[in-house]
Amino acid sequence: MSQNKPNPDETVLPTMRSRASTAVSPDVNGAADSAAAESRTLWREYFESAVVTLVMALFFMTFVAQAAAVPSASMENTILVGDHFLINKFIFAPGSHVPFLPQRDIRRGDIIVFKFPGATQNTVPGQPPEVEQYKTFFIKRVIGMPGETIEVRGAQVLINGRPLPEHRVTTAERTQRVRDAPLPEASDPIRQAGESPYTVYYDPQTINPPRGIVDNVHPTFQYAVGGRSFVIPEDSYFVMGDNRDDSADSRQWGVVQRDLVVGRGLFVIWSYDESAPQEGNFLINFFKNTRWKRTGTLIR
């Protein structure tokens, strides 16, 4: 009897071997199905991640921030030709402001990005216009607020009859300038108490006009020029470029309505010196002509 009694080890081990062999035995069809299912799951995860990223990017660009580039010298030397910067689209969002969110009203001195309010410009037959009304983005500084009376007398800006205390710098003569390069400063007086924190640039003939003429040097300017005052409509802003003698702005095409304001210039993310010599090689030009020191520069 005792000799015929099964040994527990002998009965268990064969069963374990059988199960183990079953677990690792090759099944070609099952392995293929599993690999296909894993591949579908992986591609689905990639697709879902791409969709979420796209939605977040669209939300970010629509409501928070957007990148833009500067093609003209109207805001030099605050913003240079070739600067690529972010637009803060959230700070001036329309409607009531929530106290704990970084939102506020537009102030004098703000650099705003807006949709061009004037009539279509630079139209060439058979070609699309370079500047389209309500579509092309412009960037300028807010000088006059809604309801104020503004007047421009040469380099002097008057708000409600009082001179606006701007820090004015004289540039070199136009013949000495390089196209798309920063403005060379002929003089930079010490900033006086009470002057604006920003700087505006004028030609010498505008700062010290011949024969005491105070009219603006641009004959096409229609608004607030040459001693004629202009009342800024409600919910509108009078804007000007910091490069005052090379800027088409509210003096030429009028005020900017509040609903055309896109946001505020934030900081430079990349700057490329388009006036620098080109070597014919993209990589060499990129590293040599990039203004690395301007990366991260706040626009103000």
Q: Per-residue DSSP letters for 53-111?
A: HHHHHHHIIIIIEEEEE--SSTTTTTS-TTEEEEEE-STT-SSPPPTTSS-----TT-E
In this structure, are residues 146 and 261 in contact, taking their beta carbons and an 8 Å threshold? no
pTM of the model: 0.74
Confidence of residue 100 (pLDDT cuts 50, 70, 90): confident
Beta pairing partners, 256: 237
d(CA 251, CA 236): 14
Spell out a b/e string for 184-208, using b for 16 or more CB atoms within 10 Å of the CB, else e: eebeeeeeeeeebeebbbbbebbbe
What is the bridge-based pairing of β-strands 167-171 and 199-202?
Answer: parallel
Please give the radius of gyration of the chain, using alpha carbons only, rounded to the nearest integer: 33
The full set of domain ranges for the chain reads 70-294
- CATH of region 70-294: 2.10.109.10
Beta pairing partners, 150: 159, 230
**Residue range 241-286, pLDDT digits in tens:** 999 988 989 988 889 999 999 999 988 999 999 888 888 788 889 9
pLDDT for position 16:
38
